[in-house]
A = this chain, B = another copy of it.
Amino acid sequence: MTTTANQPSVHSRRALLLGGAATVAGAAAGFAAGSGGGTARAAATQPGDPMHGRETIAFHGDRQPGIQTPAPAFVSFLALDLILPDASNEIEQREILRRVFRLISDDAARLMDGRGILADTEPELAANPARLTVTVGLGPLALKTMNPGLLPSWLRELETFPGDTLDPAWGQSDLVLQICGDDRMSLAHASRAMLKDLRPLARLHWVQDGFRHSRGSQDEAATMRNLFGQLDGTGNPSGERLERALWGGENLEPWVPGGTSLVLRRIEMDLDAWDRVDRPGRDFSLGRRQDTGAPLTGSHEFDSPDLRATDELGLPVISPDSHVARSQPREADEIILRRGYNYLEPGSAGLLFASYQCDPGRQFLPIQRRLATADMLNEWTTAIGSAVYAVLPGCAEGSYLGKELFAG
């Protein structure tokens, strides 16, 4: 490391860095043309322009953004319960839900584009969206209201797994908004603006805020670390496996084309107890090294774990009860995309486990049932919240989420 700047010159160096980076980004503009939801755009840059604040992700497209798009630094999951009139009046109930999706679609498109919502009182806070995304999921009641014929068998309260200590305060809701972004300010504004718009139609059930490394603090392609210090998400699929896991393919089908599902579990981690576990104990429980993330049978993070390897005593190098061994897919369908975030609040810390998969019954449940019965890490982790949502397909400009899916 070299000494580069005393305090006043930090500004100058920063301006140079910003200007320089902006030019680099400008040079890279037009690198590849994209289309559909999740397309990233960068503002035309000038020296001194923000480096990434004005980068936007497109809201419109066949699929919703915020799933396959790289996970930015922050998330707010907002759970909402619908305020529905008399249950016997199905038409009016569906009309309420249409209004909800019209509002969400208009708000999300504007906010993700760096504009405020209609009649925004603080559009200044929306100006740097920093890859803001809004993703919408439906709980059982919302999908039943929309179109009972579409209800997939897995869309019901998640079973309570062995070891779960579920608090209804973090439980299933009618709707979830997943709002992600690299700037806590624009995210705070977007959450508030959307909640305000939805207030007459839905009640807030819970908010779960999470974080990863800040953008630019490390290589963005690096696997995130959780608060136990472990690399978390190494086994995520990519390419065609990811495509199939999220949107369907051989043997796997989403509940509706372009749709998928979100499982969200609030997993409390006992950091104080974890502190007392030494490095070999930690690595043995995980089946990987904490420092590199390499499986105990390998030397690099992405080496495949060899579950049959034994040591000189004939004992397995990776314990069959380690997290890695228990979470290894037994069937080709057991693939999920983990897109979790850390949470830290006074009195509670852990992981917002979020996984996307087109059919949680065949993809998520078998893995989770195995983990629940004998993952050594369970000694230090407890799920305290659990919910599942059907994720709507994306929508085209001029339309709104779910428009074509309503019954009647």
- Could you tell me which A residues sit within 8 Å of B by CB distance? 1-7, 9-18, 20-21, 24-25, 27-36, 38-44, 48-54, 56, 68-70, 73-74, 121-122, 124-125, 128, 130, 182-186, 188, 192, 196, 207, 211-221, 225, 227-229, 271, 274-275, 290-291, 342, 344, 346
* B6–A17 touching, CB < 8 Å: no
Inter-chain contacts of A15 with B (CB < 8 A): 219-221
Inter-chain contacts of A6 with B (CB < 8 A): 32-36, 38-40
> Could you say which of A3, A16, A40, A124 has the most chain B C-beta atoms within 10 Å of its C-beta?
A3
CA distance A192 to B229 in the complex (A): 13
* B34–A7 touching, CB < 8 Å: yes
* A1–B56 touching, CB < 8 Å: yes
Residue of B nearest to A34 (CB): B6
Known: A73-B184, A221-B14, A291-B124. A3 touches B216 (CB 8 A): no
* Interface CB pairs A-B, < 8 A, 10: A1-B42, A5-B40, A5-B42, A7-B40, A9-B34, A11-B221, A13-B40, A14-B70, A53-B216, A122-B290
Give the contacting residue for A217; candidates B24, B48, B122, B186; CB below 8 A.
Answer: B186
Inter-chain contacts of A4 with B (CB < 8 A): 28-32, 34, 40-42
Other 13 A-B pairs with CB < 8 A, given A6-B36, A214-B215, A215-B215: A2-B44, A3-B30, A4-B30, A4-B41, A5-B39, A9-B31, A20-B20, A20-B21, A121-B229, A121-B274, A183-B217, A184-B213, A185-B213
* B5–A32 touching, CB < 8 Å: yes
CA distance A69 to B8 in the complex (A): 8
* B218–A50 touching, CB < 8 Å: yes
Inter-chain contacts of A291 with B (CB < 8 A): 124
CA distance A121 to B287 in the complex (A): 17
Inter-chain contacts of A184 with B (CB < 8 A): 73-74, 211, 213-214
CA distance A389 to B196 in the complex (A): 38
Inter-chain contacts of A31 with B (CB < 8 A): 4-5, 9, 12-13, 16
* B3–A41 touching, CB < 8 Å: yes
Inter-chain contacts of A274 with B (CB < 8 A): 121
CA distance A4 to B217 in the complex (A): 23
Residue of B nearest to A12 (CB): B31
* B68–A7 touching, CB < 8 Å: yes
Task: State how many angstroms separate the Cβ of A154 from the closest Cβ of chain B.
Answer: 26
Known: A128-B213, A196-B275, A217-B128. A225 touches B185 (CB 8 A): yes
Give the contacting residue for A3; candidates B13, B33, B217, B227; CB below 8 A.
Answer: B33
> Could you say which of A5, A49, A186, A192 has the most chain B C-beta atoms within 10 Å of its C-beta?
A5
Residue of B nearest to A24 (CB): B20
CA distance A12 to B25 in the complex (A): 12
CA distance A219 to B3 in the complex (A): 23
* B11–A182 touching, CB < 8 Å: no
Give the contacting residue for A216; candidates B185, B196, B212, B216; CB below 8 A.
Answer: B216
> Could you say which of A20, A56, A219 has the most chain B C-beta atoms within 10 Å of its C-beta?
A219
* B32–A9 touching, CB < 8 Å: yes
CA distance A130 to B227 in the complex (A): 17
Task: State how many angstroms separate the Cβ of A293 from the closest Cβ of chain B.
Answer: 9
Known: A5-B31, A13-B28. A73 touches B41 (CB 8 A): no
CA distance A212 to B7 in the complex (A): 20
CA distance A228 to B192 in the complex (A): 12
Inter-chain contacts of A225 with B (CB < 8 A): 124-125, 185
Inter-chain contacts of A34 with B (CB < 8 A): 3-7, 9
CA distance A218 to B228 in the complex (A): 32
Q: Report the 4 A-B pairs with minimum CB-CB distance, sorted nearest first.
A: A6-B34, A20-B24, A122-B229, A53-B217
